[in-house]
Structure 1
Amino acid sequence: MTRNATSFPFDIVLFDLDGTLVDSNRDLAPAVNHALSLEDRPPVPEAEVRNLIGGGAFAMLERALQATGGPVAQTRFAELGAELLAHYRAHIADNTVPFEGVTAALDRLAQLGCKLAVCTNKAEEPARDLLAKLDLAGRFDAIYGGDTLGPGNAKPDPAMLYAAIADCGGGRAAMVGDSTYDVRAARNANIPAITFRYGYHDVPVEELGGDAMIDHWNELLPTLEGVLTS
């Protein structure tokens, strides 16, 4: 028997972090552009950095370099990646905020008996740091980063989803995210996926391919209750 004694159809809801729970582009973009400046590359506009996010910091840097002149030698790439991460960690919550409606939706899910977890490709330590600084960490029963389970276990591999579901006691789960990493991980874990139209998309929004797409957090619970179970 699952934990959820209400009529709500899910026992566990898993969430991506960047572009889903929080608008972290506000601090990721300056970190990316700091790294680019060390290579005398032009900055990428903040609005365009949103489309580079996904798969972790080094994947984001690789895309930024490609957009501003092409790749660099592997040793230099590692140096720039370290600079990006150091800048970001020093400014991780300077401007980042939860998206409108996040805390109300999380609180309502908890009231309904749902266990909540974060499954992000951001490394676990900065993910926990960011969530703590935004006073969100205590709302989650499990937090998994792209490095938590070791190499090769980041999304779209379903390993962290399975682990988070187990940590939450098992039951029917859904994934909420904003990229194909989230959708493919959910597919691989055989659970439904909801995507946000406003997120940091790695493909055109119409190509995300989730079970449902929403515009605002106030649509999340009705979507979980209706669209995915109709």
Structure 2
Amino acid sequence: MTSSLLLFDLDGTLLETAPDLVGTLNTILVDEGLEPIELATARNFIGQGARAMIELGHSTQSREVASERLDELFPVFLERYEARIAQETYAFPGLFDSMETLRSQGWALGVCTNKVEHLARKLLGQLDMLDWFTVITGGDTFDQHKPHPAHILETIKLANADPARSIMVGDSANDIDAAKAANVPVIAVDFGYTMTPVTELGPDIVISHFSELEDAVGKLKN
């Protein structure tokens, strides 16, 4: 059994994916006769998922999108996003050094994201990060996804790890609520994608840079 497992959300936690996601959203909006949205405005839409991004993109311009049209636009969004998945995406500062340090201390690393699994793997592969992780699960890997605790617990099980020796790291209510329900400690990053500040969501610890992760993990492990 894996001794200790650190699970990470992907978008807004490990990676700044907003430029590619918002860029994709803007191609949809322009096709729909709307104006593109500034990155700063649309950044926090991301934690809600692609469908919500499309809806929110319309609503910011006082336009509703019918459910039938949303069903048509959703696969178009995914196809366009996959085509540019790592054009402008990058790791948050300090990530690589932090991961190397934690791995050297015996931590196994995993990804537990609501992004569909094949896109998560493709993105990590294009950034040469796949080999870092013992386990990678997406929003379509199991019957349930975050904020349901089963997503975290099944990911831990797949990694042959122990929930009592696992920690979740995320940036939104989905991550924090799922971890709490799974009885897994949770560290929140405050530089991700959330409508509500993570300090108001009740994580065990909040960090503002990956250079703080080692100390945070040490506090929760002890």
Tell whether the structures are fold-level matches, with TM greater than 0.5: yes
Does residue 161 (structure 1) correspond to residue 155 (structure 2)? The answer is: no
Structure 2 stretches lacking a partner, 5+ long: none
Question: Counterpart of 1:135 in structure 2: which amino acid?
Answer: D
CA root-mean-square deviation: 1.5
Conservation of the 8 A alpha-carbon contact between 2:117 and 2:140: yes
Q: Give the superposition deviation at 1:64.
A: 2.0
Conservation of the 8 A alpha-carbon contact between 2:116 and 2:138: yes
Q: Give the superposition deviation at 1:83.
A: 2.0
> What is the distance in 1 between the residues matched to 2:129 and 2:156?
19
Residue 220 of structure 1 is matched in structure 2 by 213
> What is the distance in 1 between the residues matched to 2:190 and 2:61?
27
Superposed CA offset, 1:14-71 (max 9, x none): 0000000000001001101111112112221111211101142112222222222242
Structure 2 counterparts to residues 32-111 of structure 1, below 5 A = 32-111=25-104
Does residue 198 (structure 1) correspond to residue 191 (structure 2)? The answer is: yes
Conservation of the 8 A alpha-carbon contact between 1:53 and 1:202: no
Query: How many residues are treated as equivalent by the alignment?
Result: 220
In 2 relative to 1, CA 125–3 (structure 1 residues): closer, same or farther, beyond 3 Å? closer
Aligned match for 2:7, one of 14, 19, 35: 14
Moved >6 Å (runs of 4+): none
Residue 23 of structure 1 is matched in structure 2 by 16
Conservation of the 8 A alpha-carbon contact between 1:193 and 1:210: yes
> What is the distance in 2 between the residues matched to 1:115 and 1:178?
20
Deviates more, 1:18-27 or 1:197-206: 197-206
Conservation of the 8 A alpha-carbon contact between 1:32 and 1:61: yes
Q: Give the superposition deviation at 1:184.
A: 0.4
Question: Counterpart of 1:173 in structure 2: which amino acid?
Answer: S
Question: Counterpart of 1:34 in structure 2: which amino acid?
Answer: T
Structure 2 counterparts to residues 150-189 of structure 1, below 5 A = 150=143, 153-171=144-162, 172-189=165-182
Residue 7 of structure 1 is matched in structure 2 by none
Aligned to 1:36, the other structure's residue is in SS state helix
Question: Counterpart of 1:131 in structure 2: which amino acid?
Answer: L
Structure 1 stretches lacking a partner, 5+ long: 5-10
Higher helix share: 2
Conservation of the 8 A alpha-carbon contact between 1:17 and 1:119: yes
Conservation of the 8 A alpha-carbon contact between 1:55 and 1:181: no
Deviates more, 1:130-139 or 1:103-112: 103-112
> What is the distance in 2 between the residues matched to 1:147 and 1:71?
27
* % identical aligned pairs: 40
Q: Give the superposition deviation at 1:75.
A: 1.6
In 2 relative to 1, CA 146–186 (structure 1 residues): closer, same or farther, beyond 3 Å? same
Question: Counterpart of 2:98 in structure 1: which amino acid?
Answer: A
